[in-house]
Structure 1
Amino acid sequence: MKSRQQANAEDVDAFRAAVAGATPLRRANRVSFEGPKPSPQPRQRQLDEAAVIAELLHAPLAIDDWLDLGGADSFLRSGLPRALLRDLRRGRWSIQDHVDLHGMNRHQAHAEVTQFLADTRSAGKRCVRIVHGRGHGSPGRESVLRQLVKAWLARCQDVLAFCHAPPSDGGDGALWVLLKADSRSPRR
């Protein structure tokens, strides 16, 4: 019975005999620099999430939602503690991003709010400011966007709460909005 070393030595000798007449390939004097491959972008998931947000914002509000929202200065998703809204009103959440809707019509503003919510949530931001204005430039000096933005936000399941900003941060012309945490975004 052959030992393992003898079998390996015979295999090496057989290989050398088989390649004895071969000439090695010439080495190229080039270095291949390939940049790192980009990470895959989940395009379809992004499109799906944008479609869901748009659907939520366009879906009709239930009568209870309209009655609850009415002329309310704030909103808190049902089942959440009132302390969450109180902390938002007191400024215990830092504003991480904002969007200004001045000069936009309702369709432009809706598209802007939809995209803004999707972008900020995917970026892991939790507290944002939406400036809708007071309506001084609107016919009858009535703020159309103020009520529309509140209705859009109340429909969006990613919105936990919102309230009017303090006078130093826009007052009745702006809303502070608290969003759900995105489970896919890294914790800071």
Structure 2
Amino acid sequence: MGNSDSTLSKEQQKLLKAFKKQIGVVTTAKSVAPVEKIDVVEDDRTIFLSALHGVVPMPKQNQVQPTKPQRPVVDAQILAKRAAAEGPVQTEHVELSDTQAILNPVGSQSKLSYRIATLQHRVFEDLKAGNLRWYEAVDLHGCTVEQARSAVLQVIEMAKAENQNVVKVVHGKGPDALLKSYVNGWLRQHRDVLAFVSAPEQQGGTGAVLVLLKRAEKNPKYDRTQQRA
């Protein structure tokens, strides 16, 4: 092409030379750019994998699952002191017989279950599964029978005063299951109790019962004296 170039004018030769330079620059840019991009991507990946060296996934059993907060369990001794200072909570159910507990003792590991005939099956199943959130709970450990009776009555009245309908009673599961037998008998006699069942394992198992109560007629506060008037 050198000979043919000589037939061109000087002006044409300048234009041709400039055109060749432009072609050379574009070709170089196109060939180099992808190589530089690949190198950068590869370096980033290498750095990332290096940073993850030795990292292992956390075992599922070590992961904390979020749970709904529950109210703290009330100590029955505290309720007993409150009753001594303020007087017992007014209730229509102070006469709960011990006869059923004496005649029908329950085993320490046995599951308690009771429901009135008209209670919906779905509601009872939710109570049994622990799906109904309890409002208040009382721990009867260390109580005498009379202290335990008073505490059960009071925790029920406390819930009804706030128009709540689920409480938990922690009776324990000692070898003789004495308080467990009494709680089983008392709750069956209480006319505000719709159902009760041994709690799921994570909520106390056979050492506690979840109790479903009738809702008060007024919300949020219910005054029995107004109903009688």
1:87 maps to a residue whose letter is D
Task: Tell me by how many angstroms 1:59 deviates.
Answer: 7.9
- Residue 172 of structure 1 corresponds to which residue in structure 2? 206
2:185 maps to a residue whose letter is A
Q: What pairs with 1:5-24 in structure 2 (closer than 5 Å)?
A: none
1:50 aligns with 2:94: no
Task: Tell me by how many angstroms 1:156 deviates.
Answer: 0.4
2:160 maps to a residue whose letter is R
SS of 2:117 mapped into structure 1: coil
The answer to whether the Cα contact below 8 Å between 2:113 and 2:196 also exists between their aligned partners in 1 is yes
- Residue 119 of structure 1 corresponds to which residue in structure 2? 158
Q: Alignment identity in percent? A: 33
After superposition, what is the alpha-carbon deviation per residue over 1:25-57, rounded to whole angstroms, capped at 9, x for unaligned? xxxxxxxxxxxxxxxxxxxxxx9x8341213x2
SS of 1:54 mapped into structure 2: coil
After superposition, what is the alpha-carbon deviation per residue over 1:134-162, rounded to whole angstroms, capped at 9, x for unaligned? 11xxxxx2110111101101100101111
- Residue 75 of structure 1 corresponds to which residue in structure 2? 114
Task: Tell me by how many angstroms 1:186 deviates.
Answer: 2.5
2:129 maps to a residue whose letter is R
Distance 1:150 1:84 in 2: 20
Distance 1:122 1:74 in 2: 25
Task: Tell me by how many angstroms 1:166 deviates.
Answer: 1.1
SS of 1:53 mapped into structure 2: coil
Task: Tell me by how many angstroms 1:78 deviates.
Answer: 2.1
1:85 maps to a residue whose letter is F
The answer to whether the Cα contact below 8 Å between 2:199 and 2:206 also exists between their aligned partners in 1 is yes
In structure 2, the gaps of 5 or more residues are 1-86, 222-229
Q: What pairs with 1:124-163 in structure 2 (closer than 5 Å)?
A: 124-135=163-174, 141-163=175-197
Larger radius of gyration: 2
The answer to whether the Cα contact below 8 Å between 2:98 and 2:182 also exists between their aligned partners in 1 is no
Aligned residues: 129
- Residue 123 of structure 2 corresponds to which residue in structure 1? 84
Distance 2:99 2:90 in 1: 18
1:180 maps to a residue whose letter is K
Distance 1:60 1:102 in 2: 22
The answer to whether the Cα contact below 8 Å between 1:53 and 1:118 also exists between their aligned partners in 2 is no
Task: Tell me by how many angstroms 1:185 deviates.
Answer: 2.7
The answer to whether the Cα contact below 8 Å between 2:111 and 2:206 also exists between their aligned partners in 1 is no
SS of 2:133 mapped into structure 1: coil
Distance 1:116 1:75 in 2: 19
1:182 aligns with 2:222: no
SS of 1:175 mapped into structure 2: strand
Task: Tell me by how many angstroms 1:99 deviates.
Answer: 0.4
The answer to whether the Cα contact below 8 Å between 2:91 and 2:157 also exists between their aligned partners in 1 is no
- Residue 135 of structure 2 corresponds to which residue in structure 1? 96
- Residue 105 of structure 1 corresponds to which residue in structure 2? 144
RMSD: 2.6
Specify whether residues 50 and 92 from structure 1 end up closer, same or farther in structure 2 by C-alpha distance, changes over 3 A only. same
Q: Give the alignment's TM-score, normalised by structure 2.
A: 0.51
